[in-house]
Amino acid sequence: MEELQAQERRLVFTRFTYEDAWALGSLLVELARARQAPVAVDIHRAGQQLFHAALPGSTPDNDAWIERKRRVVERYGAASYLVGARFRAKGTTFEASSRLDPGTYAAHGGSFPITVEGVGVIGAVTVSGLPQVEDHRLVVEALETYLGLH
Supply φ then ψ for residue 70, to 5 degrees: -60, -40
CATH of domain 2-146: 3.30.450.150
Confidence of residue 13 (pLDDT cuts 50, 70, 90): very high
Strands of the chain (E only): list them: 12-13, 40-45, 48-54, 111-116, 120-128
Residue spans per domain, the chain: 2-146
pLDDT reading at 145 higher than 70: yes
What does pTM read for this prediction?
A: 0.96
Who's near 120: CB < 8 A, 6+ residues apart?
Answer: 77
Tell me how crowded residue 131 is: count the other CB atoms within 10 A of its CB. 11
pLDDT reading at 43 higher than 80: yes
